[in-house]
Amino acid sequence: MGKRSCLPIFIIDCGKDIMATRALNVLISARILEYVRETISSRYDLAHIHFIPYSGHRLDDQTLAQIDIAFVSRDITGRSTKYVLEAKTDTYYQMMEDAPNLQWVHVHSAGVDRPVYVRLRDKGLNVTSSTGALSGIVAQSVLAAVLALNRRFRFLEAAQREHVWAPLLDDLMPADLEGQHVLLAGWGPIAQTTQRYLAMLGMKVTVLRNSTVTGHTDVPMASYDDFLRILPESDWLVLACPLTDTTRGLVGRNALNAMKPGAHIVNVSRGEVIVESELIEALRTGSIAGAYLDVVDKEPLQPESPLWDMPNVMISPHTAGHSTGNEARVADIFAENLNNWVKGLPLRNLAR
């Protein structure tokens, strides 16, 4: 794609003296610029910020050299996945990697494991996430999935499609959720909200995490070393953990064989946490009763994948955290961090 001449730079001056050092230049979506501008003007005592709007076209090298900060909002990533990028996303990613003075990138998602973010971190850049902005929405999706799998909504949907009156009787009778045991991998904002929702149903939750220090909670904690020991006691495995060396491939043949017959899996983490081919086999044989997968190993899920047609599987296209209020919540976190950056305070959600 050819380079374009410099785009306009929007200047926000909140009435203070201009900083002695040169003003900060922020690359930002043209769509979200107005909201961020109003937010930093009304909430924070910032002196002088230059916003460089992005509308889908590559900026020239002179402009790229001015950029200090880049905000990757949802409208920039659009329908892109980790493996398949839309043109506007690819252009934005390339500009971030080509901007010689870029120091900090803020991302709309909770995870920052996309290859471009890893490369930027490896170069020494600060990368922050929007952890916390989507936690309530993702937790609602987990709750909906648990209820739908337990209440056999897939079966009822199929019966409705065929105009069949099929009461949930005999072997179809759902078990009470109250008293069932959930092994919840992760203890970030999504997992913590999920735990509260599941506890509301009377479910017993054990949290799997790197540190077993409980802090200000009485929720039982276990380390990943105890994973295979606890699985046989669990009716549900809910994955809400980050993708790390520890969690990559966490749920493979050994884990699936250790699970209680009739257990279910809910994954709102990353597809790579599960060995997909081995999960498919467990679902086919019925050793795992069902699964809700918001994420898969390679996204988008290929049309020929058997997961699409499995009656005991629910799939959503990495949208468990999508909701109309996300844009403002994410922008609020970025604005807070922009204030922190200007004033030399620690950045919230800094990736390590």
Same structural domain, 172 and 309? yes
Name the β-bridge partners of 327. Answer: none
How does the average pLDDT of the chain come out, rounded? Answer: 93
pLDDT at 120 over 90: yes
Do the domain assignments include residue 347?
A: no
Q: Note whether residue 1 is domain-resident.
A: no
pLDDT above 60 (res 13): no
Residue 95 shares a structural domain with residue 182:
no
Label residue 174 by pLDDT band (50, 70, 90). Answer: very high
pLDDT value at residue 10: 45
**Are residues 199 and 170 located together in one domain of the fold?**
yes
Rounded mean pLDDT, 236-258: 97
Buried b (16+ CB within 10 A) or exposed e, 36-60: bbebbbeebebbbbbbbbbeeebbe
- For the CA atoms of 266, 261, 195, 139, what is the dihedral angle to 10 degrees? 20
Give the active site residues: 270, 299, 318
| pLDDT value of position 1 | 33
CATH of residue 203's domain is: 3.40.50.720
Residue 264 lies in a domain: yes
Mean pLDDT over 131-140 rounds to 97
Share of the chain above pLDDT 90, in %: 89
pLDDT at 217: 87
pLDDT tens per residue across span 51-74? 999 999 999 999 999 999 999 999
Q: Based on the fold, state whether residues 199 and 121 are members of the same structural domain.
A: no
Does residue 40 fall inside a structural domain? yes
Q: Judge if 168 and 97 occupy the same domain.
A: no
**197 in the same domain as 123:** no
The answer on pLDDT for 17 being more than 50 is: no
Whether residue 46 is contained in a domain is answered as: yes
Instruction: Specify the pLDDT at position 20.
Output: 36
Mark whether 79 and 145 lie in a shared domain.
Answer: no
Lowest mean pLDDT among 44-58, 72-86, 158-172, 223-237: 44-58
**320 within a domain of the structure (yes/no):** no
Q: Are residues 145 and 70 in the same domain?
A: no
Q: How confident is the model at residue 3 (pLDDT cuts 50, 70, 90)?
A: very low
Query: For the residues 118-139, what does the mean pLDDT come to?
Result: 98
- Alpha helices by DSSP H, listed for 81-205, are 87-98, 115-122, 135-150, 153-161, 189-200
Domains in the chain, number: 2
Q: Is residue 272 over pLDDT 50?
A: yes
Does residue 268 share a domain with residue 145? yes
- Residue-level pLDDT at 211: 79
pTM equals 0.91
Residue 181 has pLDDT above 90, yes or no: yes
- Residue 3 domain-assigned (yes or no): no
Q: Please compute the mean of the pLDDT values over residues 278-293 and round it to a whole number.
A: 97
pLDDT of 137 higher than 70:
yes
120 and 175 in one domain?
no
Residues 147 and 290 in one domain: yes
348 within a domain of the structure (yes/no): no
Residue 11 has pLDDT above 60, yes or no: no
CA distance linking residue 351 with residue 96, whole number of Å: 17
* Structural domain span for residue 329: 10-133+325-342
- Indicate if 248 and 265 belong to the same structural domain: yes
